[in-house]
Amino acid sequence: MRQELLDILVEPVTGAPLRLVSARYAGRGRLEEGELVSDKTGCSFPIIRGIPRFVPAKNYADNFGMQWNRFRRVQIDSENRADLSLKRFDNSAGWSPGELEGKLLLDAGCGAGRFAEIAAARGAHVIGLDISLAVDAARLTLARFPNVDLVQASITEPPFRPGTFDYAYCIGVVQHTPAPQETIESVVKTLREGGRFAFVIYGRKPWTKLYGKYLVRPITRRMPPARLLWLIEKSMPVMFPVTDKLFRLPLAGKLFRFMFPIATYIDRDYLPRELRYREAVLDTFDMLSPRYDSPMKPVEVEEALRDVGARSWSFKEKFPINCVGIR
């Protein structure tokens, strides 16, 4: 981690200053190991492999830690030579490439670093936050960028001084937290006045919970993640080609996509088959493994933004929800 990160880190919840002890530095003067100690509570938080850790290694998002370390390369544009992450980032946030130069940006729920890579390449000073061990995957993804730091912490208890960031985005994460509206408020609070935010959240319609994945999730979300992934990998050699055909059928294909929780993206034929296959395994696991999966209505997002005092916002899309705005 960069020494400059210490200027914005505080103890979660209390907001107390943190003191660095037992520091060990690596190349380029970056902190590799050490402890951050709160003089107010006496609590200490380790820095491990250059990442400050403010939560236990095991938590409700263990499945995400496992999936992003196992499938780190699948959605990283620089690894797979595709541009899916770039397109999704630009469509979700709507920020021009030049406006991020030199800005302090929060990636709230960074996963393996697919979007942080885009922002860092555009010159932003990126802080990637994730509650899971996905930060270790992101560390590998983003190692070449001197303008990136990673923090393992909860989105709803971020270890940053309020009003710190110029930009913040949270793409595909809010619905997987225990309290989605609280998560939205927490991310917006990290922004300075006039700071810009972007959220992408699963949308909820009256029939959403009838989707196939929600019918099997009461079972799959209670399974050990490694066991669930094993079952998906064993079944995918059959399910991938079958669903690839079923999902393409006129009219009936839409019904099959609603019924079967298999992430076979038939609109991505331009990708190599092996990449489509690995993405199907990854995203099927992503569908079925999270402890929390709470789609939202636009009115619920607006309620959270009003409560936190956001200045303005608009919906680029309402299903799924894509909301952008200004604090």
pLDDT digits (tens, 9 = 90+) for 220-277: 999 999 999 999 999 999 999 999 999 999 999 999 999 999 999 999 999 999 999 9
User: d(Cα 63, Cα 136) in Å, to the nearest integer?
Assistant: 14
Strand partners, 152: 53, 130
57 or 245, higher pLDDT: 245
What is 54-203+296-326's CATH number, 3.40.50.150, 3.40.50.2300, 3.40.50.720, 3.40.50.300?
3.40.50.150
Q: Give helix 62-70 / helix 225-246 axis angle, nearest 10°.
A: 60
User: d(Cα 146, Cα 258) in Å, to the nearest integer?
Assistant: 43
User: d(Cα 117, Cα 323) in Å, to the nearest integer?
Assistant: 22
The mean of the pLDDT values for the chain is 96
Per-residue pLDDT, averaged over 177-185, amounts to 98
Q: Is the pLDDT of residue 303 over 80?
A: yes
Q: Which amino acid is at 312?
A: S
Express each pLDDT in 186-229 by its tens digit: 999 999 999 999 999 999 999 999 999 999 999 999 999 999 99
Q: Is the pLDDT of residue 28 over 80?
A: no
Confidence bin at 29 (pLDDT 50/70/90): confident
For residue 172, what pLDDT is reported?
97
Give whole-number Cα distances, 131 to 198, 270, 278, 292, in Å: 19, 34, 24, 14
Express each pLDDT in 88-102 by its tens digit: 999 999 999 999 999
Q: Is the pLDDT of residue 122 over 80?
A: yes
Strand partners, 196: 167, 326
CA 79 to chain centroid: 18
CA 327 to chain centroid: 21
Domain ranges in the chain are 1-51, 54-203+296-326, 208-288
Express each pLDDT in 75-88 by its tens digit: 999 999 889 999 99
For residue 26, what pLDDT is reported?
87
pTM of the model: 0.95
Express each pLDDT in 151-167 by its tens digit: 999 999 999 998 999 99
| 320 upstream amide cis, omega within 30 of 0 | yes
